[in-house]
Amino acid sequence: VPEIGCLSIIVLGASGDLAKKKTFPALFHLYCQGFLPPIEVHIFGYARTKISDDELRNRIRGYLVSERSASPSKDVSKFLQLIKYVSGSYDAAEGFQMLDKEISKHETSKNSLEGSSRRLFYLALPPSVYPSVCRMIRRYCMKKSNLGGWTRIVVEKPFGRDLGSAEELSSQIGELFDEPQIYRIDHYLGKELVQNLLVLRFANRFFLPLWNRDNIDNVQIVFREDFGTEGRGGYFDEYGIIRDIIQNHLLQVLCLVAMEKPVSLKPERIRDEKVKVLQSVLPIKDEEVVLGQYEGYRDDPTVPDHSNTPTFATVILRIHNERWEGVPFILKAGKALNSRKAEIRVQFKDVPGDIFKCKKQGRNEFVIRLQPSEAMYMKLMVKQPGLEMSTVQSELDLSYRQRYQGVTIPEAYERLILDTYDPCPFLSLKYYCLQCLPLQLDKR
């Protein structure tokens, strides 16, 4: 292990659901696959609950091993030993001073002490405490960084309730940290088939001429879950399905489906194209919105008795530009439905001058299934095999499980967390490490 600094990952809200179910398991999988940087790494949990290191470890343990990671218990124990716990409130100096002391105590590498310590603060917390937590981090937990060290913060949606509150939150955090230090993550962007959208659209000749209003009738972006709020009613009821799923996850997907080709793969250039799509979306018409609430939602003890928060919504978005004028983008999201599925369906127009009466049998459709069982398939008309000249709808099917047997598809959070630190510390110091270089090149 080269003596070249130290990475501390601090999970704030460590005893909450997100941390237990997503953040720690993602860190664990990165650890098992060797994707934590080859330097000194420490993981800290921070929350209000007063528990010991071992109590936190025991709470997390059961969530680490999933069906996709049959990691031996030796790995689990070694990983858990990396985790320390500090308790404190989210708005008082004391806890954060203690946290800083604890982190510093473990930053033993000589270079960390001289300024190359990297501190990643992951806020697995509700946005109402973001400003105070960021203030505390800024005031008490920042290290001088002159040898390639840094402090970064990771926040998730919901980022405010509306434009005003999102802008306010942004400016509050912006006063404390520079933009490159702030990682606003949306885990849908880490899903394999969402990541694949750019490649699919811009590396395949046959989609280029078809991807427009002349050929596409409508685009459906659908999210359905077969379970309800499950103890998260308190959070969910405050936000509803539109803020929970549509405004973030589905809009990100819509942007990737609808945007023009970015001039490069630099994050800023991709963002520019997404912003143009969003700026072209027309105001939504009342008659193009359907809202609903599943029966039994109010039985959840954490949901107010008279709540009318939607748990289901269909919204039609219309993009006013040359490529998409007249093509409805139908966004649907719902909880407690009859199945769990997230997919994009691109439905093509009918063939003009159809001599086979294909219309009756169905249109061409291109489906990208984000989950479960990642797949892409194209519904198309073929001749029914046999002596007769009749047509039938069939599929060109790329099912990931079959095609990429033996390849583990990373969890969305793994990919996003990996992007928040430099897996090769040498690169940030402008040296090249032969061991890590291929990894960096792959990532680019």
Task: Give the footprint of ligand BG6 on this chain (CB under 6 A).
Answer: 187, 225, 244, 342
Residue nearest to ligand BG6 (CB): 244
Catalytic residue among 29, 42, 249, 320: 249
Distance CA 439, CA 423 (A): 8
Beta strands in 225-295 (DSSP E): 289-292
How near is the Cβ of 311 to ligand BG6 at its closest, in Å?
A: 10
Q: Pick the closer one to ligand BG6 by CB: 100 or 244.
A: 244
Please report, as a single letter, which amino acid is at residue 82: L
Cβ–Cβ under 8 Å, residues 6 and 145: no
Residue 42 annotated among the catalytic residues of the structure? no
Task: Give which of 116, 118, 151, 155 is closest to 137, Cα–Cα.
Answer: 151
Cβ–Cβ under 8 Å, residues 295 and 184: no
Burial bucket for residue 272 (CB in 10 Å: 0-12, 13-18, 19+)? middle
* CA geometry: angle 353, 358, 363, nearest 5 deg: 100
Task: Give which of 357, 341, 318, 352 is closest to 218, Cα–Cα.
Answer: 318
Q: Pick the closer one to ligand BG6 by CB: 19 or 56.
A: 19
How near is the Cβ of 101 to ligand BG6 at its closest, in Å?
A: 34
Q: Pick the closer one to ligand BG6 by CB: 18 or 219.
A: 18
Task: Give which of 244, 230, 233 is closest to 313, Cα–Cα.
Answer: 244
Q: Pick the closer one to ligand BG6 by CB: 59 or 187.
A: 187
Q: Pick the closer one to ligand BG6 by CB: 60 or 246.
A: 246
How near is the Cβ of 188 to ligand BG6 at its closest, in Å?
A: 7
> Is the link from the previous residue into 158 a cis peptide, with omega within 30 of 0?
yes
Residue 134, H or E segment: helix 130-140
How near is the Cβ of 168 to ligand BG6 at its closest, in Å?
A: 22
List, by residue number, the catalytic residues: 249
